[in-house]
Amino acid sequence: MTGLNLLKPAYGSKHRKKIVGRGEGSGHGGSSTRGRKGQTARSGDGKMTTFEGGQMPLMRKIPKRGFSSRSRVENEIVNLDVLEASFESGSEITPEKLVAMNIIHDISPLKILGTGEIKKSFVIKAHSFSKSAEEKIKAAGGTAEKIVRITKGHGEKIKKA
């Protein structure tokens, strides 16, 4: 007789699930495969994965340099030549318009840099401008308006221009 209902796995291919800590009848003895007494026989034997047997750990040997400020603000930057190519003369340029046109990714603090030439006059609203960008915008007949950004720090509101 043959049939799918009579199929069985080959002898020796299936193993019993390992049951640890269930006494002599489990087949793993009274110590449950942990050896005898000592640190590693206890539950939560407490060895950290980075423990190196008491020698000076690698992470303490490597020199530490620098500092990462937790209050650092990453600016979105745009150069004048990008604005010259993307907008018509007389346009009002805001961070929201730049996000809508996929020039910047986020409305987070926007800084305009002075790379490139500008011949059109714009009204540019941004959180900050480089000196050269501000001079070039004014020379072309445009205006550079700074947006005041309100940020929280230590439970209070701080105005940053």
Task: Tell me the per-residue pLDDT of 41-59, one tens digit each, with 9 for 90 and over.
Answer: 888 877 778 888 889 999 9
Task: Classify residue 113: in a domain, yes or no.
Answer: yes
Residue 121 lies in a domain: yes
What is the span of the domain harbouring residue 133?
A: 78-160
Whether residue 143 is contained in a domain is answered as yes
Domain annotation covers residue 6: no
Residue 120 located in a structural domain? yes
**Which residues in the chain show pLDDT less than 50?**
157-158
Q: Assign residue 83 the CATH number of its domain.
A: 3.100.10.10
- Whether 86 is covered by a domain: the verdict is yes
Give dist(CA 104, CA 30) in Å, integer. Answer: 66
What is the DSSP code (8-state) at residue 33? T
Give the model's pLDDT for residue 151.
64
pLDDT of 44 reads 80
Q: What is the DSSP string of 47-58?
A: --TT--TTSPPH
Burial class (CB in 10 A: 0-12, 13-18, 19+), 122: buried
What is d(CA 42, CA 9) in angstroms, rounded to the nearest whole number? 38
In a domain, 33, yes or no: no
- 114, 135 Cβ separation under 8 angstroms: yes
91 in a structural domain? yes
Identify whether the C-beta of residue 86 lies closer than 8 Å to the C-beta of residue 120: no
**Total number of domains in the chain:** 1
pTM tops 0.95: no
